[in-house]
Structure 1
Amino acid sequence: MTWRVPRQRTFGWLYPWRGVDWLLLSAVWATTLIGAVFIHSSQLHLEENDSLQHLLVGAIGTLLALILARVPESVFMGSHWVIYGLSCALLLAVDLVGVEAKGAERWLAIGGFNLQPSEFAKISLILTQAALLHRISGHSLKGILSVFAATAPPFFLILTQPDLGTSLVFIAITLTMLYWANTPGSWIILMLSPLVAAILFALPLPYHLNLVIWFLWTLAMAIVAWRSLPLGWVGGLGGLVLNLGGAGLGQLLWSVLKDYQKTRILMFLDPDKDPLGAGYHLIQSRIAIGAGGLWGRGIFQGTQTQLGFIPEQHTDFIFSAIAEETGFIGSLVLLCLFWLIGLRLLQIANSAGHDFGSLLAIGLFAMILFQVVVNIGMTIGLLPVTGMPLPLVSYGRSAMLATYLGLGMVLSVANHRPRSRY
């Protein structure tokens, strides 16, 4: 007779976390540690240094994530409206009594700690959309409208702060989760089409080529709507009107942007117009990244970083410090860590016991991936500066804590997946 030792004895005190994805957690810890090293490096020339706070918040976040990993997913699903309501209340409080900095009201001062509710609103949005799409198919008009109805209040509250970067993250999360919930790709393209039409209409091309491209795009979207929507020619007409309206959407969006946001876009197009003013950040960031070469100048040895040429480098522009001091190889290591985090999130999404857990994982995947692409894109000059932090690396207590809370919910999905008894 063969005796089997129950795994509870094997795992010991770790048994409650036996299903946690430790590889994912290890990649998150390594990324957090890299952030602490280069926050320290970018602040060596200053009296204050936030690297220890970064590690402390990471430790608190880890503790909260491990606690959440033991909570059944049904608890998250049952409390999503409470969390959503609290999140919206905090965003409203920012508009009423928020702390203003750099032209935007985004913080609540609570006992000497500046809380940024928009960071936690991302996690609230993922949780709420996962619960909605678990109950209502993303392939139905009802499901899509339910998601948009839940997204609209926090989206516009954040947009009025103003916080354009977080608003874009909301869009990325929503579209990715809808796609994962089986919303047809053609429908998602139609949702994005007015914005694309607005950009095409405003392109400064010679001989009015922008108008030709915009018209062809509009016609193509009308055909897509006609072929994919259940309304036939009525849907096609709607797609046509939607993209014709995109011509005025660009001017409307431009009019609601704050002056500093307009300046960021203009400097992205030509930062050399104001090399000592609005274009200074981007120019110095590109110099630092280029100076890193293959192997970098050495940790704590980067001239642009140590001489403080890039203001507030420990937050949005921390990738330039990493690239200057560790070069292409160090940057590649960081990107591989983000790749590993994304891969593990996708694997959890694929192996989750039900749609709710799968959608939670894919929502966090979309949030992290979009922020990584935009942050690195803006530091190397491929995208406009949006003030978006690099997840787990940039200094930002609210952003770090929110990411770990989202990670804790995903670890719960992994921890409670069906498994054999032995």
Structure 2
Amino acid sequence: MVLRQPGPGQSGRIGELLSTTPIRRSVDQATRSSARPRLLFDPLMLVATFGLVIVSVLAIGGSTRTDIPGAPDFFAHRQIAYAVIGTVLMLVISRFDYSRLREFKIGIYGLMIALNILPLLLAAATRGARSWIELPFFRFQPSELGKVLLIVALAGFIVDRTRRLGERETTARLMLLALGPAALVMVQPDLGSASVYVVTALTMLFIAGSPGRHIAGLIGLFAVSLVLVLAVAPAVGVNVLKPYQVDRLTGFLSPNEDNNETTYQLNQSKIAIGSGEKTGRGLDRATQTGLNFLPEHHTDFIFSVVGERWGFAGAGLVLSLFALLIWRTLRLLTMAKNLFGTLIAAGILAMLMYQLLVNVGMTIGIMPITGVTLPLMSYGGASYLTTFIALGLLQSIHIQARIAQGSKGRGLVLS
């Protein structure tokens, strides 16, 4: 179609026609909508995030009142500080386009390896583990930050090999990228965090489209490895696991026959949750956590604190907030503007769901005690800040998807 200059007296009529056509109205609507400020953050994800933070601070504050004489709010105040710093990190990360991280995947992977080697060189042994590095304000656990770094780096490597995912060699190489740092974490030893690395990698490969037979083969290989480590190796005099790790597994398998410390923790946790009944025992009557019958009540067993103090109602609220967070993350799998974002969201989803399943499961006796923290609930700077970094990436994926959808929509209207 050739556009011609309107003749004398025609410009007014053309303007009149354009003002009443659907095209002009669509343009005006698009202009007005683009001029209005839009909430690009996912508001429901923010509700779930800060809802869990509030419950965490209240639970930690109530259960640690007598832990440090003269400082009843020590842990609660520090948890609030971690939440404030984490929120700033989340907001800053969310304003960047996550897609640019793909260019730095090799550097990110190298940083993760270096961080996981540091505890073996610098960390002092704490309860048989060398997982924490003492810093002036908190204990830094590199394996926690390594979870997010692995997700970002592995997502980049998978995208680069998308066309070759059907090959067995590609699946093996990508899985080895996760098994390397997982082995470094297991040597510390931190079996719980190492298992998070493996589960996250398997989930990302599945979402990327690796053949089901490859995934099944990897799972079968891990099952055989567990049998070798737990049964065959000890029978021939080779102890791969530490004594306390063996106690945790035997205590889980036979809770009524073993009287070690692990079984004591599990029994006290179940007593705390059961005594909460429907609405909980309140702050003053929560004897299991208030009188320190339950060890690690502000870290590994924070869900037991919630169950005793607020009962089924409180536990249901926490699980509902996690369900909301998981639902919003699941939504990003289809909403992300590219495969790289989808894989990052899938990795974070696997990390959150696996930690939730293992932590809550161990407090009620359906999972072995592995020291896996409950995201946004357990006390600890490294775990808290890592989770907020992951949430910042999720918000970045959401924001970039909204921007891409808006641009596409305006392009269709104006074309």
Give the TM-score of the pair, scaled to structure 1. 0.83
The 10-residue stretch of structure 1 (377-386 or 2-11) with the greater mean CA deviation from structure 2: 2-11
Change (3 A) 1:177 1:251: farther
Change (3 A) 1:81 1:309: same
Change (3 A) 1:174 1:357: same
Instruction: Give, as a single letter, the amino acid of the residue that structure 2 aligns with 1:86.
Output: L
Specify the alignment match of 1:395 in structure 2.
Answer: 379
Of 157, 167, 172, the residue aligned with 2:184 is 157
Instruction: Give, as a single letter, the amino acid of the residue that structure 2 aligns with 1:35.
Output: S
The answer to whether the Cα contact below 8 Å between 2:269 and 2:364 also exists between their aligned partners in 1 is: yes
Instruction: Give, as a single letter, the amino acid of the residue that structure 2 aligns with 1:184.
Output: P
Asked if 1:68 is matched to 2:68, the reply is no
Of 76, 81, 94, the residue aligned with 2:106 is 81
Specify the alignment match of 1:133 in structure 2.
Answer: 158
Matches within 5 A, 1:34-49: 34-47=55-68, 48=71, 49=74
Q: Determine the C-alpha separation between the residues in 2 that align with 1:70 and 1:327.
A: 39
Q: Tell me, what secondary structure is at the counterpart of 1:382?
A: coil
Q: Give how far 1:251 is off.
A: 6.0
Specify the alignment match of 2:52 in structure 1.
Answer: 31
Asked if 1:420 is matched to 2:406, the reply is yes
CA RMSD of aligned residues (A): 2.3
Q: Determine the C-alpha separation between the residues in 2 that align with 1:276 and 1:124.
A: 36
Q: Determine the C-alpha separation between the residues in 1 that align with 2:182 and 2:281.
A: 42
Q: Determine the C-alpha separation between the residues in 2 that align with 1:199 and 1:125.
A: 23
The answer to whether the Cα contact below 8 Å between 2:90 and 2:392 also exists between their aligned partners in 1 is: yes
Instruction: Give, as a single letter, the amino acid of the residue that structure 1 aligns with 2:112.
Output: S
What do the CA deviations read for 1:96-141 (whole angstroms, capped 9, x no partner)?
Answer: 1113211100112233432110000100110111111112133332
Instruction: Give, as a single letter, the amino acid of the residue that structure 2 aligns with 1:419.
Output: Q
Q: Determine the C-alpha separation between the residues in 1 that align with 2:282 and 2:133.
A: 38
Matches within 5 A, 1:352-371: 352-371=336-355
Q: Determine the C-alpha separation between the residues in 2 that align with 1:333 and 1:99.
A: 38
The 10-residue stretch of structure 1 (356-365 or 29-38) with the greater mean CA deviation from structure 2: 29-38
Q: Give how far 1:23 is off.
A: 1.1
The answer to whether the Cα contact below 8 Å between 1:293 and 1:327 also exists between their aligned partners in 2 is: yes
Q: Determine the C-alpha separation between the residues in 2 that align with 1:42 and 1:254.
A: 41
Of 121, 127, 141, the residue aligned with 1:102 is 127
The answer to whether the Cα contact below 8 Å between 2:179 and 2:198 also exists between their aligned partners in 1 is: no
Task: Answer with 1 or 2: which has the greater Rg.
Answer: 2
The 10-residue stretch of structure 1 (300-309 or 28-37) with the greater mean CA deviation from structure 2: 300-309
What do the CA deviations read for 1:55-87 (whole angstroms, capped 9, x no partner)?
Answer: 221121111111111111232111222222122
Matches within 5 A, 1:102-121: 102-121=127-146
What do the CA deviations read for 1:19-71 (whole angstroms, capped 9, x no partner)?
Answer: 22121122111111111110111102222431121122112111111111111
The answer to whether the Cα contact below 8 Å between 2:270 and 2:363 also exists between their aligned partners in 1 is: yes
Q: Give how far 1:174 is off.
A: 0.9
Of 4, 7, 10, the residue aligned with 2:36 is 10
Q: Give how far 1:88 is off.
A: 1.2
Tell me the number of residue pairs that the alignment of Structure 1 and Structure 2 aligns: 374
Matches within 5 A, 1:298-313: 298-313=282-297
The 10-residue stretch of structure 1 (300-309 or 170-179) with the greater mean CA deviation from structure 2: 300-309
Q: Determine the C-alpha separation between the residues in 1 that align with 2:214 and 2:140.
A: 37
Q: Determine the C-alpha separation between the residues in 2 that align with 1:57 and 1:256.
A: 35
Of 318, 329, 340, the residue aligned with 2:324 is 340
Asked if 1:20 is matched to 2:6, the reply is no
5+ long unaligned stretches in structure 1: 204-246
Give the TM-score of the pair, scaled to structure 2. 0.84
5+ long unaligned stretches in structure 2: 1-18, 20-24, 411-415
Q: Give how far 1:389 is off.
A: 0.8
The answer to whether the Cα contact below 8 Å between 2:108 and 2:149 also exists between their aligned partners in 1 is: yes
Change (3 A) 1:90 1:195: closer
Change (3 A) 1:8 1:108: farther
Of 140, 148, 169, the residue aligned with 2:175 is 148
Q: Tell me, what secondary structure is at the counterpart of 2:130?
A: strand
Identity %: 34
